[in-house]
Amino acid sequence: MRKSESGQSLVETALVLPLLLLLVIGILDFGRVTYSYAHLHMAAQETVRKGGLGKSDTEIATFAKNYVKLGDSSKLIVEITPPGSLRKSGDYVKVKLKYPIKLYTPFLSSLFPAPLYAQTDSTIRVE
């Protein structure tokens, strides 16, 4: 006498599908974080050039908020050191950009702080 195996594939799919979806969502989250960091890095390089050319802090921050296209630009944190009133030719100016990223992978979001910040900085000499 043979037993019926008609529900076997359904049970196997039910066991494997959550793991597969978790893996796919984790890969997408990793890609988003990597892209965000790379975009912020390029934005920091472009933004610090404005400081090197002698622009004011508000002009530098406005340029950074217009340049970054990761979502809500009001969440972008721009730190400029030293302040514009203390910069003179020959000094170095540093621009640090921070942007919050929300992770969608269930277990990763509990391991990392919420929100996870992608941050980068760049330094250039003032002309």
User: What is the pTM assigned to this prediction?
Assistant: 0.81
Q: How far apart are CA 106 and CA 116, in angstroms?
A: 14
Q: Give the model's pLDDT for residue 62.
A: 94
Residue 1 above 90 pLDDT? no
Q: How far apart are CA 82 and CA 84, in angstroms?
A: 7
pLDDT tens, residue by residue, 34-91: 999 999 999 999 999 998 998 899 999 999 999 999 888 899 999 999 887 888 888 8
- What are the extents of the domains in the chain? 5-126
More confident residue, 27 or 89: 27
